[in-house]
């Protein structure tokens, strides 16, 4: 009987409050819940929290948005998975007797709760000018819950996403399902737990893009800005913007380069796994190695002998690269560039390595995925190749240099004519009748080739900058 009287009294209270015009409040307490005709605002009236109904939707949610900005931009939603009917004007956001925030429907069923341990029921909820919605224990003054710990699809200034290395808690941004449905969509944005950590957009559980302040339902990560309180939001930055930014566009051992057409090609020493698919513009099957490494020929994936490795394998330097995914970080005190190369050389499964001053030594085992060539930025990647490829590289360099010599000769001898204005036999590149200075040009070219051959016959090492033992990698977004 007592419960029935209490429930009836509460309904009368709700009905009375529903007749009051829309009003702003500055806190939510045990005695002062928030109703659909009210909004909670921050002290400087920057942010506002309340009940909202997306355009064209028949449901309402509790959310947070910028106050006095038209059109409004929802930046946080409480009940993403459990919306309320938009006609339910008896709903409320209240503090229960256990001190938790609770979203109740018109029949007083709990739809959403902060679900934390509160020492007393004397708690209050406020909205800060940063957009952080807090639940605070009045007696101790401690924050027991905050919306910044539970992001939805938007990253606000001072908000952190990532992984808590102590507790394992993971915070990601998750897109809306549709424009009118804020329930979790298929795309998410977050930070991996590997070292060094990476920024990723995932499509479900599959990587969609590695990102070198929010995710939209189409799977892009964008920052939005406003020039004034009135006017349209505009994009300050967005990713992905091109096909090279889609994860693994060119497949394993493929490299994406927007400056050429087609945008995908195989890394040097590799060829398409499926010529037919590549001709049709489907590159996801990737590439395979043309020439096996010696340790692969012997069926041994362990460490080759130092003599064997030096005779067969070398590293080709690829500059201005987006480094591949799935690197292995080697946190050795002596892991300078030279040692980094040796670590890779001594493991037949190692296909590449990189040494980045701010990170250290990274190696890659097996396939290289999501490689991209940049213009004016990026890192040096050292690709492991067999000695047969070094021979091809030498032939390529010789042909290139020979072409230069031929071009120079043609340019030089083209001006040697007889009195009748006709080309001499030297102009037809019959070197027997060429002037003596041409012999010097060819001799210098051959000397250059010999010098290059001697250099290529020895192991290639990356520059070895001094390693600072007290310098450790510093990565943003990890809390």
Question: Got the DSSP string for 38-85?
Answer: EEEE-TTS-EEEEEE--TT-SEEEEEEEETT-BS--EEEES-SSS-EE
Query: Residue 26 above 70 pLDDT?
Result: yes
The pLDDT, as a whole number, for residue 358 is 84
| Burial (0-12, 13-18, 19+ Cβ within 10 Å), 114 | buried
With 90 as the cut, is the pLDDT of residue 177 above it?
yes
The answer to whether the beta carbons of residues 299 and 356 sit under 8 Å apart is no
Rg (CA), the chain: 33
Q: What is the mean pLDDT of residues 22-48?
A: 92
Going by C-beta distance under 8 Å and a sequence separation of 6 or more, which residues neighbour residue 265?
Answer: 250, 254, 255, 257
Helix (H) or strand (E) holding 5: helix 2-18
Report the pLDDT averaged over residues 171-195: 92
> Could you tell me if 31 and 141 lie in one domain?
yes
**Which residues touch 171 (CB under 8 Å, ≥6 apart)?**
149, 150, 151, 160, 161, 162, 163, 190
Let me know if residue 81 belongs to a domain.
Answer: yes
Is 447 found in the same domain as 358?
yes
Question: Is residue 461 very low, low, confident or very high in pLDDT (cuts 50, 70, 90)?
Answer: very low
The arithmetic mean of pLDDT across residues 67-96, rounded, is 93
Cβ atoms < 10 Å from Cβ of 348: 21
Residues 8 and 102 in one domain: yes
Residue 204 placed within a domain: yes
Q: Which residues pair with 24 in a beta bridge?
A: 39
Residue 467 lies in a domain: yes
Say whether pLDDT at 198 is over 80: yes
The Cα–Cα gap between 254 and 181 comes to: 38
**Does residue 46 surpass a pLDDT of 70?**
yes
Measured CA to CA, the distance from residue 57 to residue 82 in angstroms comes to 14
Q: What's residue 33's pLDDT?
A: 96
- For the chain, the maximum distance between any two Cα atoms, rounded to a whole number of angstroms, is 126
Let me know whether 199 and 343 are in one domain.
no
Distance CA 128, CA 147 (A): 11
Q: Domain residues for 230?
A: 162-241
Q: Is residue 267 part of a domain?
A: no
471 contact partners, CB below 8 Å, separation of at least 6: none
**What is the mean predicted confidence (pLDDT) over 99-123?**
92
CATH of the domain at 14: 2.90.10.10
| CA dist., res. 223 & res. 215, Å (int) | 9
In the chain, the percentage of residues whose pLDDT exceeds 70 is 67
Which residue, of 89, 119, 148, is where some domain finishes? Answer: 148
Q: What is the mean pLDDT of residues 94-100?
A: 93
Q: Which tops the pLDDT comparison, 214 or 212?
A: 212
Structurally, how many domains does the chain consist of? 3
Say whether both 192 and 55 belong to one domain: no
Q: How far is Cα 190 from Cα 162, in angstroms, rounded to an integer? A: 6
Confidence of residue 210 (pLDDT cuts 50, 70, 90): confident
Edge-to-edge strands, sheet with 101-104: 92-95, 101-104, 110-113
Same domain, 327 and 470: yes
Instruction: For residue 261, give every residue at least 6 positions away whose Cβ sits within 8 Å of its Cβ, in sequence order, or none.
Output: none
> Average pLDDT for residues 15-40, to the nearest whole number?
78
**Could you tell me if 350 and 457 lie in one domain?**
yes
CB 197 within 8 A of CB 475: yes
Residues 219 and 338 in one domain: no
Cβ-Cβ contacts under 8 Å for 128 (sequence gap 6 or more):
42, 43, 47, 134
Check whether 429 has a pLDDT greater than 60.
Answer: no
Same-domain check for residues 144 and 168: no
Does the residue 296 lie in any domain? no
Write down the pLDDT at residue 100. Answer: 95
Instruction: Dump pLDDT digits (tens) for 156-170.
Output: 989 988 888 888 888
Residue 307 inside a domain? The answer is no
Question: Does 186 lie in the same domain as 116?
Answer: no
Query: If you average pLDDT over every residue of the chain, what do you get?
Result: 76
303 φ, ψ (degrees, to nearest 5): -80, 125
Contact indicator for 224, 192 with CB cutoff of 8 Å = no
Is the confidence at residue 8, as pLDDT, over 70? no
* 117 and 182 part of one domain: no
What is the pLDDT averaged over residues 230-242?
56
Given a cut of 80, whether residue 435 has pLDDT beyond it is no
Q: How far apart are CA 71 and CA 65, in angstroms?
A: 10
Q: Rounded to whole angstroms, how far apart are CA atoms 283 and 349?
A: 24
Confidence of residue 426 (pLDDT cuts 50, 70, 90): very low
What are the CA-CA distances from residue 94 to residues 109, 140, 177, 340, 342 (Å)?
12, 20, 27, 58, 63
pLDDT at 116: 94
User: What is the DSSP annotation of 77-137?
Assistant: ES-SSS-EETT-TT-EEEE-TTS-EEEE-TT--EEEE-----SSS-EEEEE-TTS-EEEEE
Burial of 250 by CB count in 10 Å (0-12 exposed, 13-18 middle, 19+ buried)? buried
Q: Is residue 295 part of a domain?
A: no
Tally Cβ neighbours within 10 Å of residue 263.
20
Who wins on pLDDT, 461 or 317?
317
The reported pLDDT for the residue numbered 249 is 95
pLDDT of residue 301: 55
Instruction: Kindly state the average pLDDT of the residues 39-45.
Output: 96
> Could you report the per-residue pLDDT of 360-408, keeping only the tens digit for each?
999 999 899 999 999 888 899 999 998 878 755 544 544 444 444 444 4
Rounded Cα–Cα distance for residues 106 and 13 (Å): 12
Instruction: Answer for the pair 329, 361: CB distance below 8 angstroms, yes or no.
Output: yes
Tell whether the model's pLDDT for residue 236 goes beyond 80.
no
H/E stretch holding 313 reads: strand 313-322
Lookup: tokens for 344: 């890779």
Residue 287 contacts residue 253 (beta carbons within 8 Å): yes
Indicate the range of 18-22, 275-279, 297-301, 363-367 predicted with least confidence. 18-22
Maximum mean pLDDT: which of 63-77, 89-103, 436-450? 89-103
The domain boundary residue, chosen from 241, 259, 283: 241
Model pTM score? 0.66
Answer yes or no: do 202 and 167 share one domain. Answer: yes
Contact indicator for 312, 296 with CB cutoff of 8 Å:
no
CA distances from 134 to 145, 148, 154, 334 (A): 6, 9, 17, 47
Residue 332's pLDDT band (cuts 50, 70, 90): confident
**Which of 178, 207, 241 marks a domain boundary?**
241
Whether 278 is covered by a domain: the verdict is no
């Amino acid at each position: 009987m007592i419960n029935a009287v209490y429930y009836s009294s509460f309904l009368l209270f709700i009905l009375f409050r529903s007749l009051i015009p829309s009003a702003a409040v500055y806190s939510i307490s045990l005695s002062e819940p928030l109703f659909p005709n009210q909004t909670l605002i921050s002290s400087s009236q920057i942010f506002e929290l309340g009940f909202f109904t997306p355009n064209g939707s028949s449901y309402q949610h509790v959310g947070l948005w910028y106050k006095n900005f038209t059109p409004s931009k929802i930046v946080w939603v409480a009940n993403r998975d459990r919306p309320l009917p938009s006609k339910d004007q008896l709903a409320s956001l209240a503090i229960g007797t256990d001190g938790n925030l609770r979203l109740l429907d018109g029949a007083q069923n709990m739809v959403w709760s902060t679900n934390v341990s509160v020492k007393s029921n004397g708690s209050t909820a406020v909205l800060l000018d940063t957009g952080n919605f807090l639940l605070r224990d009045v007696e101790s003054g401690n924050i027991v819950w905050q919306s910044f710990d539970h992001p939805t699809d938007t990253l606000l200034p001072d908000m952190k996403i990532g992984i808590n290395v102590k507790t394992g808690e993971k915070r990601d941004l998750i897109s809306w399902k549709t424009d009118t449905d804020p329930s979790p969509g298929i795309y998410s944005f977050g930070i991996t737990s590997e070292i060094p950590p990476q920024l990723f957009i995932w499509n479900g559980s599959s990587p969609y893009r590695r990102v070198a302040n929010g995710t939209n339902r189409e799977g892009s990560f964008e920052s939005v800005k406003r020039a004034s309180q009135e006017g349209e939001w505009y994009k300050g930055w967005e990713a992905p913007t091109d096909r090279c930014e889609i994860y693994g566009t060119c497949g394993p051992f493929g490299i994406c380069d927007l400056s050429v057409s087609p945008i995908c090609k195989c890394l040097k020493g590799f060829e398409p796994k499926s010529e037919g698919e590549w001709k049709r513009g489907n590159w996801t099957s990737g590439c395979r190695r043309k020439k096996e490494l010696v340790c692969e020929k012997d069926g041994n994936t362990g460490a080759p002998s130092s003599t064997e490795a030096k005779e067969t394998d070398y590293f080709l330097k690829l500059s201005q690269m987006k480094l591949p995914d799935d690197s292995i970080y080697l946190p050795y005190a002596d892991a300078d560039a030279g040692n980094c190369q040796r670590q890779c050389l001594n493991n037949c499964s190692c296909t590449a390595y990189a040494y980045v001053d701010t990170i250290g030594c990274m190696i890659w085992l097996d396939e290289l995925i999501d490689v991209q060539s940049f213009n004016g930025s990026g890192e040096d990647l050292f690709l492991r190749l067999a000695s047969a490829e070094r021979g091809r590289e030498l032939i390529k360099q010789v042909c290139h240099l020979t072409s230069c010599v031929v071009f120079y000769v043609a340019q030089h001898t083209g001006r040697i004519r007889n009195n009748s204005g006709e080309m001499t036999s030297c102009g037809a590149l019959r070197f027997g009748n060429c002037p003596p200075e041409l012999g010097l040009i060819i001799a210098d070219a051959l000397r250059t080739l010999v010098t290059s051959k001697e250099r290529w016959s020895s192991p290639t090492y990356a520059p070895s900058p001094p390693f600072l033992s007290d310098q450790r990698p510093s990565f943003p977004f990890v809390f």
